[in-house]
Amino acid sequence: MASKKIGVLIGGSGLIGGTIVNYYKTHHPETVDIRAPSSKKFSIREENDIRRYLADVKPDFVINAAMANLGSDAQLAFEVNYQGPIILARAANSLKIPYIHISSAATLPPGENLREDDTLPLSPDLSNYAKSKLMAEATLKLMAEKEGLDFSCVRLAIVYGAHDHKIQGFHRLLFSIADESMPVLFTKKNTLHSYTNARKLPHFIHHMLENRAEFHSRTYHFVDKNPVDLATLILTIKSYLRLNQPKEIYVPYWMANSGKNVLNILLRIFRRIGLKATLPPELMFLDSFYKPQTLSCERLKNSSFADPMPEESIFTRLPELVSYYLKRWSHENLISSYNANLAIEKPVEQTFINNPQKLIDDIHAKGIGPFNNMLER
Ligand SMILES: NC(=O)c1ccc[n+]([C@@H]2O[C@H](COP(=O)([O-])OP(=O)(O)OC[C@H]3O[C@@H](n4cnc5c(N)ncnc54)[C@H](OP(=O)(O)O)[C@@H]3O)[C@@H](O)[C@H]2O)c1
Least reliable range by pLDDT among 20-29, 72-81, 176-185, 259-268 = 259-268
Partners of 197 in the β-ladder: 160
Confidence check: pLDDT of 107 > 60: yes
In this structure, the residues whose C-beta lies within 6 A of any atom of ligand 1 are 10-17, 38-39, 43-45, 65-68, 80, 102, 104, 133, 156, 158-159, 166, 168-169
* CA nearest to 303, candidates 226, 218, 227: 218
Region 71-84 average pLDDT = 94
Q: Whose CA is nearest to atom 36 of ligand 1?
A: 11
Q: Does the domain at residues 5-331 carry the CATH identifier 3.40.50.720?
A: yes
Ligand 1 atom at minimal distance to the Cα of residue 155: 7
Looking at mean pLDDT, say which of 22-31, 66-75, 337-346 comes out highest.
22-31
CA distance 271 to 277: 6
**Atom number in ligand 1 closest to CA 104:** 7
Q: How many H helices and E strands in the chain?
A: 16, 12
**347: pLDDT confidence band, cut at 50, 70 and 90?**
low
Q: Indicate the pTM of the whole model.
A: 0.88
Run of H or E residues at 15: helix 15-27
Of the pLDDT bands very low, low, confident and very high (cuts 50, 70, 90), residue 222 is: very high
Beta strands in the chain (DSSP E): 5-10, 32-35, 61-64, 99-104, 111-114, 151-156, 158-160, 192-193, 195-197, 218-222, 228-229, 293-295
Which helix (H) or strand (E) is 236 found in, with range? Answer: helix 230-241
pLDDT of residue 344: 54
Q: In angstroms, what is the span from residue 163 Cα to ligand 1's centroid?
A: 12
For residue 63, the Cα-to-chain-centroid distance in whole angstroms is 15
pLDDT at 99: 98
Angle formed at CA 7 by CA 199 and CA 39, multiple of 5 degrees = 80
Domain range list for the chain: 5-331
The C-alpha atoms of residue 77 and residue 68 are separated, in whole angstroms, by: 6
Ligand 1 pocket test target in 9, 23, 35, 39 with most atoms within 8 Å of CB: 39
